[in-house]
Chains A and B, each alone.
Chain A
Amino acid sequence: TQLLEQSPQFLSIQEGENLTVYCNSSSVFSSLQWYRQEPGEGPVLLVTVVTGGEVKKLKRLTFQFGDARKDSSLHITAAQPGDTGLYLCAGEANSGYALNFGKGTSLLVTP
């Protein structure tokens, strides 16, 4: 099992603030996916990064895959209460196989 460490574990901020969450591993992944999960629901795919150094933007969310494909970050600009949720990163050693998940970062954005 290739371990993914996410930090911080919990984050509570006010609306309008910026934040970055991190996903680190000592292993190389062929791809890395970010999901957002709400209580009692399944994870919802936000983005997939494949190429080392890749940066993808999804509205106010910016995702980066490390050059060595071992780590990733998620930056949220001007957070909104609707961004509240559990953010999970998941790495795939080989395409189409099992995902290894981190424990997630629980984000709370208050008005």
Chain B
Amino acid sequence: DTGVSQDPRHKITKRGQNVTFRCDPISEHNRLYWYRQTLGQGPEFLTYFQNEAQLEKSRLLSDRFSAERPKGSFSTLEIQRTEQGDSAMYLCASSSVTGLSSYEQYFGPGTRLTVT
């Protein structure tokens, strides 16, 4: 399977703990995006990378959140000092800026975070 993969699929943590999620994009895709989705809402943009460069961050990405894509391949999203309001589905997507389909983003299965 060459789709976007995310790990873990589910994470339960206590308030105040740090968590880290991983995303492996489609191998030939150079753009990688993070979104957050809460119940009853569509996904909301958090940040995106082109290769290893982080090009845009949403105001939703507070200073407790940090994302990296050190070698332009997989990415990690870390949340420090988790709060109950961080409970959500964290989605990763990837796309390619070359070719005719540069606007098509393909999503992974998501990581469901529950903060207790």
Residues of B with C-beta under 8 A to A48: 101, 103-104
Q: Mark A83-105, 1 if CB is under 8 A from B, else 0.
A: 00000101010011111111110
How far is B4's CA from A100's CA once the two chains are assembled, in angstroms?
A: 20
Residues of B with C-beta under 8 A to A102: 42
Q: Mark A27-58, 1 if CB is under 8 A from B, else 0.
A: 00011010100001111110010100000000
Closest to A98 in B: B45
CB distance from B50 to the nearest CB of A (A): 8
In the complex, number of A-B residue pairs with CB atoms less than 8 Å apart: 65
How far is B43's CA from A41's CA once the two chains are assembled, in angstroms?
A: 12
**Can you list 21 A-B contacts (CB < 8 A)?**
A30-B103, A33-B105, A35-B107, A41-B110, A42-B6, A42-B91, A42-B107, A44-B107, A45-B104, A45-B105, A48-B101, A96-B103, A97-B56, A98-B33, A98-B45, A98-B56, A99-B43, A101-B43, A101-B44, A103-B40, A103-B41
